[in-house]
Structure 1
Amino acid sequence: MGCCNSKTGGESAANRISRWRSTGIVAFRDCKLKTFPSEVLELDGSVRTLDLTHNKIVDVPLEISKLINMQRLVLADNLIERLPMNLGKLQSLKVLTLDNNRITTLPDELGLLVRLERLSISGNLLACFPETIGSLRNLLLLNVSNNKLKSLPESIGSCFNLEELQANGNSIEDLPSSICSLVNLKSLCLNNNNVHQIPHNLLRDCKALQNVSLHGNPISMDQFQQMDGFQEFEARRKKKFDKQIDSNVMIGSTGLDEGVDL
């Protein structure tokens, strides 16, 4: 799938483009690219998946908006500092992976990606998140770990289908009260932040919640256990792991170690 290999194998540019058009998959992994591959932009609506993982790309061109049928965009492990303002034109996008870049801000147009299901932007330099994220009603997974966030936007409570929220390794102090509206949330990971309390009705209202991980925060186990709905949460958590063990699912040594530090 990687185009670097096909070039060394003697594949002509015409054959390569023909293959891209027929499969809808374009991959330039580990190709040491410094600029966005311009030939991809000529494919317009043919591209379904674009993977540019582990290159040295700094800028994403405005012309990326021409790839209107793209469903999966993977730009992890590059040197990207910002995203184009017209990113919201990629209306078919379901997966957006931006891990390990140098992104400091996200455009408000992110909220126009209404079909987005998975957004991962860990290992960047984000200090804040746009309120427009609340428009991502189909979002299932949000990973903002290892950034510089001090808070999460109040609008996150409108991401009604969110099942997994990973925000480890930030500087988050408080959670927005709207997070209690995430009735489908199953996993909340906030390790190594500055969280000293969480909304008191989180465990009561988020009835699907099975995993809360708060290691490396000022909050105490006593505070956590005294929250409304703790017993019901604990029952769901235990049932989840009992099911995994009964199914012979292999789990690591920390697999059963959830909650907060003692």
Structure 2
Amino acid sequence: MASHTPTEKENNEKLIKVSVKFAGRSIPVEIGAVSTIKDLKSILQTLTNVLPRGQKLIFKGKVVSDESTMAASGITDGSKIMLMASQGLHQGDGPVKKEGVALPSMRRLADVTRDKKGKTEGSVTKSHLERWKATGVIGLSECGLTTIPEEVWTCGTYARVLDLSHNSLHDVPAAISRISSVQKLHLSGNDLLDKSMSWEGITSLKSLVVLSLNLNNLSELPSSLGSLTCLKQLHVANNKLTCLPTEIGLLTELQVLKAQNNRLSIIPPTIGGCVSLVEVDLSCNLLAELPETLGSLKDLKFEGWESFDERRRLKHQKQLEFRVTGSAEFDEGADKNWIVRGPFQEFCVATG
């Protein structure tokens, strides 16, 4: 049997898994094989709260250049990389020290026990419950939880923030609807599957302002997401999403959309309804083009949009002149990288 030589398109779409060591833990990241170190830093910003300019990535004892691709740097599937953070460039609750030790954004549940079957469960004391109700902050990140403690639901309308990031949760039950006043929900880093999510419960949280689902195994978002009309930030990076629901256009308050490092091949034109958008990151996906409706968002500034639009017009003109019906090949190479500037941040929309 003849060996198969990967095409340029296949190489562009290939994803590799790397492990980034930071603050005493290893962060798994899935990224395009031809992506740059700058793209990797953008992904790590959402996972570590360290700004890209404050990140120093070290591979095999050497600092890797931002402009270098993963391949050119020798980084392949299974590679291990060290992240060091410069002081004062942390976006969370205080700066990261030069050694790269991050300060926790919330207090964690102190007591974690294991039952006879090895199942990890949180031991919630009366003092924990009282503190949660007094502050409105339920901090349960990095506790090794496989299930959400029942005591969380007893907080009811007291809860304003629920942080369950970086655990090993098996599911998010419908009972989540009981904390009806929660404004920030952090579920990143749990390897959650579509079937693990009670979307009905989550989308019933009408006060939700921030929803973070980074670093899971989600392949789709529900149409009911459009009912979260107060949502201002949606973080779904590092999943397996192939599309965004058309109902995303109903999120008129949405300001930040981070969906990098997925498998998105198309963005619905309805995204033009997100009139408050100021930050969008769609890098490291399989996009060939963006909908024209993005250009109508007044708070987003596109560098290169006009030149891309001109190329798009010329493409269609050539199709008419030469009666060409297929355009996929042109689109794939039309614009590999666009820089999109919002009022607060510079970021990249890429197709690799």
Query: TM-score normalized by structure 2?
Result: 0.54
- Output the amino acid matched with 1:72: K
Equivalent residue number for residue 84 of structure 1: 198
Structure 1 letter corresponding to 2:189: D
Aligned residue in 1 for 2:243: 128
Q: Give the Å deviation of 1:188.
A: 8.2
Amino acid at match of 2:137: I
2:277 corresponding residue in structure 1: 162
Q: Does 1:26 align with 2:138?
A: yes
* In structure 1, C-alpha distance between the alignment counterparts of 2:169 and 2:348, rounded to whole Å: 38
Task: Quote the residue 1:218 is aligned against.
Answer: 333
Q: 1:75 is matched with which residue?
A: 187
Give, in whole Å, the separation in 2 of the partners of 1:6 and 1:160: 44
1:4 matched residue in structure 2: 109
Q: Using the TM superposition, give the Cα deviation of residue 41 of structure 1 relative to its aligned residue in structure 2, in angstroms.
A: 1.2
Q: Which moved more, 1:108-117 or 1:37-46?
A: 37-46
Structure 2: segments with no counterpart, 5+ residues: 1-105, 114-122, 313-331
Q: 1:186 to 1:25 in 2, by over 3 A?
A: farther
Q: Distance in 2 between matches of 1:198 and 1:16?
A: 54
Distance 1:142 1:183, change over 3 A: same
Q: Do 2:223 and 2:247's aligned partners in 1 also have CA atoms closer than 8 Å?
A: yes
Change (3 A) 1:66 1:199: farther
Instruction: Determine the C-alpha separation between the residues in 1 that align with 2:228 and 2:243.
Output: 18
Query: Which residues in structure 2 correspond to 1:1-262 (within 5 Å)?
Result: 1-5=106-110, 13-82=125-194, 83-86=197-200, 87-186=202-301, 198-200=308-310, 218-219=333-334
CA distance in 1, matches of 2:240, 2:124: 39
Deviations 1:169-194 (A, max 9, x none): 100112112112211114789xxxxx
- Once residues 252 and 144 of structure 2 are traced to their aligned partners in structure 1, the CA distance between those partners, rounded to angstroms, is 36
Alignment partners' CA distance in 1, 2:178 and 2:186:
16
Mapped partners of 1:34, 1:115: distance in 2: 29
Query: CA separation of 1:171/1:5 partners in 2, compared to 1, >3 Å: closer, same or farther?
Result: same
Q: 1:88 to 1:52 in 2, by over 3 A?
A: same
CA shift, 1:49, in A, is 0.4
CA shift in 2, pair 1:259/1:128, >3 Å: closer
Return the offset for 1:91: 0.6
**Secondary structure of the structure 2 residue equivalent to 1:39:** helix
- Structure 1 or 2: more strand by fraction: 2
Q: Secondary structure at the match of 2:182?
A: coil
Give the TM-score normalised by the residue count of structure 1: 0.71
Q: Secondary structure at the match of 1:15?
A: helix
Quote the offset at 1:109 in angstroms.
1.0
- 1:43 & 1:2 partners in 2: Cα distance? 16
**Over alpha carbons, which structure has the higher Rg?**
2
Is 2:308–2:335's contact at 8 Å kept on the other side of the alignment? no
Q: Secondary structure at the match of 1:26?
A: strand
RMSD of the TM alignment (CA)? 3.4
Quote the offset at 1:7 in angstroms: 6.6
Partner Cα separation in structure 2 for residue 142 and residue 171 of structure 1: 17
Aligned pairs, number = 211
User: Closer, same or farther in 2 for the Cα pair 1:112/1:55, shift >3 Å?
Assistant: same
Say if 1:12 and 1:5 are closer, same or farther in 2 by CA, change over 3 A. closer
3-state SS, counterpart of residue 110 of structure 2: helix
Give the direction of change, closer, same or farther, for the CA distance of 1:258–1:73 in structure 2 (3 Å limit).
Answer: closer
Q: Is the 8 A contact 1:164 1:187 kept in 2?
A: no
Q: Which amino acid in structure 2 is aligned with residue 28 of structure 1?
A: L
> Quick one: structure 1 residues 184 and 220, their matched pair in 2 at CA, closer, same or farther if it must change by over 3 Å?
closer
Deviation at 1:200, TM superposition (A): 4.5
